[in-house]
Amino acid sequence: MIEKFLEGNERFREEDFGKNPDHYNALASSQHPVVLWIGCSDSRVDPERITGAQAGEIFVQRNIGNIVP
């Protein structure tokens, strides 16, 4: 199972990180998300994937039952 994740990380490094170095270098020094996403800590939901967002565009707050006190 771990091999699958290591291969996925390698693909990310080559296909995304390697093609967008300026984007990731900017994120290393600061972030300015435009959306706050409050959601359940359910591992089946990936906000960036289902919205097509790039790293740094969504601030994700996960908790049990997506409760906002």
pLDDT tens digits, one per residue of 2-61: 999 999 999 999 998 989 899 999 999 998 999 999 988 888 889 999 999 988 999 999
pLDDT given at position 65: 82
Read off the pTM.
0.69
Q: Distance between CA atoms of 20 and 12, rounded to whole angstroms?
A: 11
- Which DSSP state fits 14? I
pLDDT of 69 over the 80 cut:
no
β-strand partners of 60? 37
Does residue 47 contact residue 53 with C-beta atoms inside 8 Å?
yes
